Amino acid sequence: MRNSHCVIGIETSCDETAVAIYHGERGLLGHALHSQVALHAIYGGVVPEIASRDHIRHVLPLVRQVMRESDVVTKDLSCVAYTAGPGLLGALLVGAAFGRSFAFGLGIPAIGVHHMEGHLVAALLEPNAPSFPFLALLVSGGHTLLVHAKAMGQYQILGESLDDAVGEAFDKTAKLLGLQYPGGPEISKLAEKGNPDRFHFPRPMLDRPTLDFSFSGLKTHAITTFRSVGNDPAARADIARAFQDAVVDVLSSKCKRALRETGLKHLVVAGGVGANQALRARLHELTLQEGSTVHFPRPTFCVDNGAMIAYAGWLRFCAGERAPLVIQATPRWPIELLNGSLVDAKVEASDGTINAH
């Protein structure tokens, strides 16, 4: 049997080039990722121009590799899904131009996927996944969102960060402590050795009735504490622990409030910070107490990956989406703008424009 009914997914929104193939009946056939972390580490963060150039070098070899490893040939592909935003414009344009052109050459549809919708459906690739509706906690380097996910393409934001995204707070705090980029995994490793009783960090916004977050104060608190302890070799681990405890407390408290307010029974967690073991453990405890369930992608699919884009593309393809013949790259793209996108999805246009805004 040939592998027809496949969607190939291409992710280039930030600092990973990732490709995967999803098959309608057989699930995920293959995925591969090239990380640019080493290229950006010396700068302490992602350099957009370096990111774009590196995506150009890797996207085609990765597509070839995943097709070969998945035993898929071009005529098996029904659709090409690429990340259309949000993300870095130059980086997005690489995947978008490649994906749209690849689909055009094959005479099949291309779908521009919203990166955060990709993260949101990543957990649905795992066994015992819930179906819509559910509560989603999206925690990445650029976003912190609590979302009522009503259906594919139907999202209501219940709460969001008013300043730094939670991943960004991890990264900035790690940098202040002299740790490597990306900071999330570094802080969580260090926190394991930290004394939980030495420092107590504030729990921002917990006293407010909303489901919004604020994380920039925690980073300031970390650096003030770090400066106050002088030359103490144990301080970094203790600060990492206090910082992580505060973040986990705030995220889990807001999830609890959102579960109670909405009456939703399933919590889906997504985005790079979803790989954090302390957060995973706390949310397991919380949902057990609340009589609800929690669902995470496997840690490699919490961070950016091609599988989530292929799967989101597959779900949209099945729902009838046929995007117009444009190369879509949208660096700023609130997830709520997707609402209704699957209702009026069947638009065919052919003006061949590049749609970057």
Q: What 8-state DSSP symbol labels residue 204?
A: T
Give the Å distances, CA to CA, from 207 to 92, 163, 202, 253, 261.
39, 17, 11, 11, 16
Q: Which is nearer to ligand KG4, 99 or 183 (CB)?
A: 183
Round to whole Å and give the CA distance between 223 and 219.
6
Residues 118-147 that bind ligand KG4 (CB under 6 A): 140-142
With CB under 5 to 8 Å by kind, the binding choice for 182 among ligand KG4, Zn ion, none is ligand KG4
Taking CB under 6 A as the binding criterion, the range among 145-153, 154-162, 252-260, 265-273 that sits at the site for ligand KG4 is 265-273
Does residue 276 contact residue 184 with C-beta atoms inside 8 Å? yes
Round to whole Å and give the CA distance between 321 and 81.
11
Element at 279 (helix H, strand E): helix 277-290
> Counting contacts by CB under 5 A, is residue 140 touching Zn ion?
yes
> Counting contacts by CB under 6 A, is residue 276 touching ligand KG4?
yes
| Shortest reach from residue 150's CB to ligand KG4, in Å | 23
Q: Which is nearer to Zn ion, 211 or 309 (CB)?
A: 309
Round to whole Å and give the CA distance between 178 and 176.
5
Residues 167-186 that bind ligand KG4 (CB under 6 A): 167, 170-171, 182-185
Round to whole Å and give the CA distance between 81 and 99.
7
Give the Å distances, CA to CA, from 2 to 23, 31, 71, 80.
11, 18, 9, 18
Does residue 107 contact residue 9 with C-beta atoms inside 8 Å? no
- Residue 357 makes CB contacts below 8 A (sequence gap 6+) with 330
Q: Which is nearer to ligand KG4, 78 or 252 (CB)?
A: 252
Q: What 8-state DSSP symbol labels residue 161?
A: B
Tokens of 325: 């013949």
> Counting contacts by CB under 6 A, is residue 11 touching ligand KG4?
no
Query: What are the helix (H) ranges across 71-165?
Result: 89-106, 115-122
With CB under 5 to 8 Å by kind, the binding choice for 184 among Zn ion, ligand KG4, none is ligand KG4
> Counting contacts by CB under 6 A, is residue 252 touching ligand KG4?
no
Does residue 135 contact residue 161 with C-beta atoms inside 8 Å? no
Q: Which is nearer to ligand KG4, 30 or 184 (CB)?
A: 184
Site string for ligand KG4, 76-115 (x = CB under 6 A): ----------------------------------------
Residue type, 16: E
Binding-site size, ligand KG4 (CB under 6 A):
19
| The only residue of 304, 307, 333, 356 in contact with Zn ion, by rule CB under 5 A | 304
Residues 282-321 that bind ligand KG4 (CB under 6 A): 303-304
| Shortest reach from residue 181's CB to ligand KG4, in Å | 8
Site string for Zn ion, 94-133 (x = CB under 5 A): ----------------------------------------
Please report, as ranges, the residues that interact with Zn ion according to CB under 5 A: 140, 304
Name the residues that contact ligand KG4, by CB under 6 A.
Answer: 14, 140-142, 167, 170-171, 182-185, 188, 271-273, 275-276, 303-304
